[in-house]
Amino acid sequence: MLLITANPLFNHSLQVGVVFGYLIGLFRYSASTTSIEFVYLFFSILYLEYEFGFKHYAMASVFERIRSNTNFIGTGLLFVLAFVLIAYMIPRERKFTYEFQDGRPWREENLTAPFNFAILKTDAEYKAEKELALQEVKPFYNFNANAFSVQLKAYKESFSKEWMEYSVKTFNVSAQDYLKSDKFQKHRDLQRYFDAFLFSLLEKINYQGIVEVRDQQQDTLINQEIVLLRGNIAEIKHLNEFFTLKSAYQHLSSEMEQELRKNQSKLLVKYRDFLANFSIETYLTPNIFYDQQASDRERETVLNGISMKKGMIQHGELIVEKGEIINPEIYQILYSLKVAYSDNQRNVNTLLVLVGKLIFVLFSLALIYVFLYNFRRELLRDVLKTTFILFMVVLMVFIASTTARLDKISFYVIPFAILPIILRTFFDERVAVFVHVLTTVVLGLIAPNGYEFVVLNIIAGIVAIFSLTNLYHRSRFFISALLVGMTYVSTYLGIHLIHEGGLTNLKMDYFGYFGLNSIFILISFLLIYIFEKVFGFLSDTSLIELSDTNQPLLRKLAEIAPGTFQHSMQVASLSEEAAYKLGGSPLLVRTGALYHDIGKMYDPIFFIENQASGINPHDNLEFEESARVIIDHVQKGVALAKKNGLPEQIIDFIRTHHGNSTVQYFYRSYIKRYPEKEVDVRNFSYPGPKPFTKEQTILMMADSVEAASRSLKEYSWESISKLVEDIINAQLKEGQFDEAPVTFKEIATVKALFKNRLKNIYHARISYPAREESA
C-alpha cells in the first residue's frame, strides 16, 4: 500500500476504485455477500486502475516519442511500401542457378535431372516443323449455289429475245409472224435446240464450278488439294478440276464450234453470225470462293497441334558430367531444364522460394536505410528525397521484372546505369554507389545470368558515377555514356576470357546490346530534367545555367548595385574553393553566393560597397532604422528570388547567410549613444534561420570575411589572419554553425584557405626600404 500511495497516480486511482468498489459492493450486499469479499474486490479494482493509469501515462510517452520522430517513421513506412511493391513485382519462380554455353565445358559437378521434364525442340526444329505442317494444310473454298442461278435466268431471257430480234431483222418479218407463222417453225425449233444446248453447257460449268482467281493473270489452276464446302458437306478436291472464268469461256467456245461443225442443218447457215456474236461469256460468274477465315482456323489448329517437345528426361537421369563439353544436344537439354524450373512447380514450394527472395530484398532495403540513417540522416529527414531514392529502386525492379516476363529484350539493352547517374546528379557519390550496388544485387535475382549481370552493371555504374564528377561541361554526358559502353564491352571481354581462355564462342550480339545501352543512357539524361521539375531537385546542369553571370537577375544586380555584384563574385570564388576542400558542392555554393545579396538591389546606396560617391544615407537615420534597412535585404532578397523562380535550395542561401546574428555596427553604436536605455537586441538581429548545410555555412563565413576584409587599413599576413580568426570565431561563439554538419577541423581548413586567398587577392607583401635619392 505504501508503494501505491507514494505514486502520484494514487489519488486518481483511489477515487475510481472507491466508486467501482461501492457500486459492486452494493450489488454483492444485495446478494448477501460477506464484507471480506467486498474489501478484496475493492482493492483488486484499485490495483487494476493503477495499472491502467500507469500504462496510460506510458502510452502518452510513446506518443510523444512518435511525434518527435515523425520523419523517421514516415520514411520507414516508405521503405515498407517499397518492399511491398518489390514483393509484388519480383518473380515467384525459382531461378535456374547454373551458367552454361554451347561449346564450353561443364564446370559444375555431375548434373542429374531433379524431376521429369520434356526436351524442347530448338527454334530451327520448331520452325521447320511448322513450315512442313503448313504445307500439308489444305485451303478451304466455299461453293455458292446461288451465284449462278441469277445468271442462268438472265441467259434464258436474253437468248430468246436476241434470237427473235435477229430473225425479225434477217427475214424482214414482224415479231408476230415469226412467233405464229408455220413458215418459221423450223427457225423456232432451231432456236429451242441451241437455247437448250447452251443452257446445258452453262449448267455443267456451274456444277463443275468456276473458281474466283485472286491473281487475275493466272490462266490455269495448280494441281493443289483443297477442301470444298458444299453446304455442310466437305469434299477433297484438286484445284485444277475447276474452271476459271477464262477456261470456262474457252470451254464454251470449243463446244460451240464442235456443235456447229457437227450440225448439218441448212438453216444453221443463216444463224452462224448470231451464234458467233452472242456474248455467252457475260453469263459466266465464279461460284467457288476462297474461305480465308476457315483456312486460317485450320492453320491455327494445325500449329497448335505441333508439340514443342521432342523427348523426355526422367528423374535421376544423368544430363552432363563435370568437364564434359556442352554440345548442341546437351545444350538443348540444359535449356529445357532451365525452362522447366520456372514451369515445374510440383517438386518445389514456390512460397518458400518467394520468401527467400523477399528476405534478400528486405535485407537490401534495410541496409539502404541503415546507411542513410548513419551517414546521410538529412536524407531520411526529407520525405521527398527518400521517396525519390526508393522510387528509383522500385522503377529499376519494375523494368527488370517486365523485361524478364516479356523475354524478348536482352537485359543488356536496358540502361540500368541511369540509376547511379541520376542519384549522383541529385545527391553524392556515396549515396549513388551504395544504392546502385544493392539495387543491382536485387536485380540479379531477376536477370537470367545473375552473376554476369551483377558484375557488369556494378562496374558500369561505378564508372558512370566517377565520370560525372565535373559537370561544368555538358559534354560530360556524352563522355559518361561512352565510358559506360566501353566499360560494358571491356568487362564482358574480361569475363569471357576468364571462362573461355580465348575469343571462341564470343557473343557478338552483346556488343550491339552494349551500344544500344549507351544510346539509351544518353537519351535517359532527359529524365534528369523531368525529375528535377517533378521533385524540386537541383542538378549541376541547372546550377551551371543559374551561375551564368549573364542571367537577367545577375545582370540587373551588376547594373543597380555594382559593388554588391563584385562582392558576390569574390564570395563565390572563396566559397567555391572552400567547398572543394571540404567535399561539398562547389557549384551549389557558388550559385548561392552569386544570389545571396540580391535583396540589396532595392536600396543599394545603403550598403557601403555601393557608396562610391562617399555619401552615406545612414548618417541621417536612427540606428534602429539603419539596422532595419540592412536586415530587410534578406527578406527582400527571398521575395525577389521567389518572384524570379529561383530554386528553393538557392533561396535557402539568401535566408541563412546571416543566420540570426546581429548587425554589430549599429547595435554597438546604439549602446554607445544610449547607455541608459534598455536595448531590444531583436531590433538589430537577422530573422534567421541559421545555416543547416555545409555549403550554407561556407557561404556565411566567406560573406563575412570578404566584406570585413575591405575595411582593413593594412593588408599584411598578420592583419588578414587576425581578421579571419576573429570573424569566424565570433560566429562560432554565437552558435551560428550549431545546426550545420561541419566539424572544427573543417572550420580550421576554411580559415587557412581564406587567409591564403585573401593574401593573394590583396597582394600582402613585405615592406621594402625606401630608395635613397642620389646627390
Q: Quick check: 21 and 13 in contact, CB under 8 A?
A: no
Measured at the CA of 703, the angle between CA 702 and CA 709, to 5 degrees, comes to 85
Question: According to the model, what pLDDT value does residue 1 have?
Answer: 37
| 6 vs 752, higher pLDDT | 752
Cα dihedral 422→425→426→430 (10° resolution) = 90
Q: CA dist 606 to 311, 600, 611, 668, Å?
A: 93, 8, 8, 18
Taking residues 652-675, what's their average pLDDT?
90
Compute the residue count for the chain: 775
Q: Are 239 and 211 in contact (CB under 8 A)?
A: yes
CA gap 134, 136 in Å, rounded: 5
Cα distance between residue 717 and residue 760, in whole Å = 10
Confidence of residue 534 (pLDDT cuts 50, 70, 90): confident
- What does the pLDDT look like over 156-174, one tens digit per residue? 888 888 888 888 888 888 8
Cell reading at 695: 555549403
Q: What is the pLDDT of residues 95-139, one digit of tens each?
A: 676 777 777 788 788 888 888 889 998 888 888 888 888 888 889
At 289 the three-state DSSP class reads strand
- Mean pLDDT value of segment 187-202: 87
| C-alpha torsion angle, residues 297, 301, 304, 310 (rounded to 10) | -150
Cis, peptide link before residue 689, omega less than 30° from 0: yes
Distance CA 406, CA 403 (A): 5
C-alpha cell at 95: 531461378
pLDDT of 470 reads: 62
Sheet strands side by side (includes 288-290): 233-238, 225-230, 140-143, 288-290
Residue 214 — pLDDT band, cuts 50, 70, 90? low
> Is 61's pLDDT higher than 60?
no
Confidence check: pLDDT of 713 > 60: yes
| Band of residue 437 on the pLDDT scale cut at 50, 70, 90 | very high
> Residue 27 above 50 pLDDT?
no
Taking the C-alpha atoms of residue 260 and residue 253, their distance in angstroms, rounded to an integer, is 11
Cβ pair 698, 578 in contact under 8 A: yes
pLDDT at site 244: 87
Q: How far apart are CA 593 and CA 650, in angstroms?
A: 9
- Which of the listed ranges 102-106, 300-304, 751-755 does the model predict with the highest average pLDDT? 751-755
List pLDDT tens digits, range 329-367.
Answer: 988 888 888 888 766 655 556 677 778 888 989 999 999
Task: Cell numbers for 278, please give them.
Answer: 452472242
Q: In the predicted model, is pLDDT for residue 505 greater than 80?
A: no
Among the listed residues 669, 658, 660, the one whose alpha carbon sits nearest the alpha carbon of residue 623: 669
Helices (H) and strands (E) in the chain, counts: 31, 8
Average pLDDT over the chain, rounded to an integer: 83
For residues 586 and 580, the answer to whether their CB atoms sit within 8 Å is: yes
Confidence at residue 476, expressed as pLDDT on a 0 to 100 scale: 76
Residue 724 confidence (pLDDT)? 94
Contacts 24+ apart (CB under 8 A), 579-583: 579/694, 579/695, 579/698, 581/749, 581/750, 581/753, 582/694, 582/698, 582/742, 582/746, 582/749, 582/750
What pLDDT is recorded for position 323? Answer: 84
Residue with the three cell numbers 455458292: 144
Q: Determine which helix (DSSP H) or strand (DSSP E) holds 120, and give its type and residue range.
A: strand 117-120
C-alpha cell at 309: 517437345
**pLDDT of 766 above 60:** no
pTM: 0.61
Over 50: is that where the pLDDT of 455 sits? yes
The answer on pLDDT for 220 being more than 90 is no
Question: Does the pLDDT at position 47 exceed 60?
Answer: no
Distance between first and last Cα of the chain: 111
pLDDT digits (tens, 9 = 90+) for 563-617: 999 999 999 999 999 999 998 889 999 999 999 999 999 989 999 888 877 788 8
